[in-house]
Amino acid sequence: MISTYDFGMIGLGVMGRNFLLNVADHGFSAAGLDLDAEKANALDEESAGRPVRGTTNTAEFVAMLRRPRKIMLLVPAGRAVDSVIESLLPLLDKGDLIIDGGNSYFEDTNRRQEYLKMKGVQFLGVGVSGGAEGARRGPSIMPGGHVGAYQLVGPILEAVSAKVNGVPCVAHLGNGAAGHYVKMVHNGIEYGLMQLIAEAYDILQTIGGLSNPELHEVFRRWNAGALESFLIEITADIFAKRDDKGDGWLVDKILDKAKQKGTGKWTSQNAMDLGIGIPTIDAAVTLRGLSALKIERKQAAPHYARAVEETPRVDKEQIVAQVGEALHFAFIITYAQGMHLLAEASEEYSYGLNLETVAKIWRGGCIIRASLLEDMRQAYQEQPALRNLLLAPAFHDALLHGQHAARAILKTAIDFGVPTLALSSALAYFDAYRSERLPLNLVQAQRDYFGSHTYERVDQEGVFHTEW
Ligand code: 6PG
């Protein structure tokens, strides 16, 4: 066996195969390994005529690769990653590189990095976003780890990534688990935006009375404006899809229980650990949990029927305009929460993140790509130490203006009993962040009252306790 292949992939599901075909499109030879012969064969069939080969034999796979070997894993996060690493280790040489391209938990990435360092094997934790289509045509790639390891594989990742104005949507993001951390927060933002869109849909349908074709038109129009983004674009498509198993529209036939694989929850959990508020992402995670309680919701529904029927319908055009502006406002707030978390985490974990770079590589290829990200990139370029996008002059007018639409539509939604946890959390976050004085002086007083936890004063230095 001649060791000539430039790049190896373990895990030949649709994502892995597509990623390899993309690698081959850019002139690199690539080997794929999957223990499932059907998947290895599928790679051979799909790549016919190109320097790509699939195998089910780990030793053969490793022997095919040019040294230092570059082996990417696209296998389910968790134990599978550890077991693949164990199966590789006896076959690898010092200096070979393993790239974990799955949605691994960042603490696992830290652990694997330490472990592989002891074994003399290089390791990168890399977030890959864009789904199967992105893997094939150009994903956004978020690599973290030692910069020397990145340089080994950088040219391949840069070639296969999405491009925005010719700029690759990949860059070495930082040390350690920086790549998987950034991907985790990407997914947290993804959860937030998806929940906001779902709430907008609920308001437009339940209160505005919009039909699916009308919703399609509204989202299509929004995608041509300030809300331009992948998620708005696919939402427009979804409303136009007819049910191929019966009458009507497919979206109406889909069970309203949203599943989750954990990345959104991890974002909320870690933000709590760091003491950073990301309430819109938290709300999205919470709603996935509530959505799963279908049986209980069905039991509760007749006891607390919505007052929708009794309330007069509102003006359609006005409601569409308000929801659009409120959504734009809440999108900015959701990105602001995620970016704020990244800024804090970068300090806490010494990632050395550059938020301009993060915004830059999210402009294309990934699920949260949006025209807003170019504005964010510019904001961080102008102020690299920016703590929160709410403090960026570029977003000032949009937020100042957008809050009115958010307030108006939320009042309507509350009157109609339409749940808007994410949208209201975005407005409440804005209201809290821009409040010089919050009522938490009272919380401090209570803590001191019942637990002698002490408090600081606004007019004197020091720490105080009162016998209440
Ligand atoms: C991406 C997606 C991808 C995956 C999500 C789905 O960036 O391409 O985020 O990673 O589709 O993890 O997550 P849930 O199953 O938790 O919704």
Show the domains of the chain with their CATH numbers.
7-176 (3.40.50.720), 184-433 (1.10.1040.10), 440-468 (1.20.5.320)
User: What spacing in Å lies between the alpha carbon of 200 and ligand 1's midpoint?
Assistant: 21
Question: Quick check: CB of 139 below 6 Å from ligand 1?
Answer: no
DSSP for 276-323, please give it.
Answer: ---HHHHHHHHHHHHHT-HHHHHHHGGGG--SGGGSPPPPHHHHHHHH
Residue 247 buriedness (CB in 10 A; 0-12 / 13-18 / 19+): exposed
Q: Is the pLDDT of residue 311 over 80?
A: no
3-state secondary structure of 210: coil
| Confidence bin at 69 (pLDDT 50/70/90) | very high
| Confidence bin at 307 (pLDDT 50/70/90) | low
Cα-based distances in Å from 50 to 14, 23, 54, 235: 18, 11, 12, 36
pLDDT score at 306? 78
Contact between 39 and 12 under an 8 Å Cβ cutoff? The reply is yes
Q: Is the pLDDT of residue 219 over 70?
A: yes
Question: Quick check: CB of 104 below 6 Å from ligand 1?
Answer: no
User: What spacing in Å lies between the alpha carbon of 464 and ligand 1's midpoint?
Assistant: 48
| Ligand 1 atom closest to the CA of 366, numbered from 1 | 7
Q: Is the pLDDT of residue 3 over 90?
A: no
314: Cα separation from own chain's centroid = 34
In the DSSP assignment, the letter for residue 338 is: H
Nearest CA to ligand 1 atom 10: 129
What average pLDDT does the segment 272-277 reach?
Answer: 98
Question: Quick check: CB of 260 below 6 Å from ligand 1?
Answer: yes
Question: Quick check: CB of 140 below 6 Å from ligand 1?
Answer: no
DSSP for 221-263, please give it.
Answer: HHHTTTT-BHHHHHHHHHHTPBPTTSSSBGGGGS-S-----SH
What confidence tens digit (pLDDT) does each residue in 144-173 have?
A: 999 999 999 999 999 999 999 999 999 999
pLDDT score at 438? 98
User: What spacing in Å lies between the alpha carbon of 303 and ligand 1's midpoint?
Assistant: 36
Q: Is the pLDDT of residue 328 over 80?
A: yes
| Ligand 1 atom closest to the CA of 131, numbered from 1 | 8
Nearest CA to ligand 1 atom 2: 129
What average pLDDT does the segment 391-405 reach?
Answer: 97
What are the phi and psi torsion angles at 48 (to 5°)?
-45, 135
Q: In which region does residue 358 sit, left (phi positive, over 0), alpha (psi from -120 to 50) or beta (all else)?
A: alpha
What letter represents residue 333's amino acid? I
Question: Quick check: CB of 103 below 6 Å from ligand 1?
Answer: yes
pLDDT score at 314? 80
| Confidence bin at 2 (pLDDT 50/70/90) | low
User: What spacing in Å lies between the alpha carbon of 105 and ligand 1's midpoint?
Assistant: 13
Question: Quick check: CB of 135 below 6 Å from ligand 1?
Answer: no
pLDDT score at 308? 57
Run of H or E including 267: helix 263-274
Question: Quick check: CB of 263 below 6 Å from ligand 1?
Answer: yes
Q: Is the pLDDT of residue 312 over 70?
A: no
In the DSSP assignment, the letter for residue 27 is: T
Question: Using H for helix, E for strand and C for coil, what is the string for 386-419?
Answer: CCCHHHCHHHHHHHHHHHHHHHHHHHHHHHHCCC
pLDDT score at 210? 97
What average pLDDT does the segment 18-23 reach?
Answer: 98
389: Cα separation from own chain's centroid = 17
**What amino acid positions are annotated as catalytic residues?**
183, 190
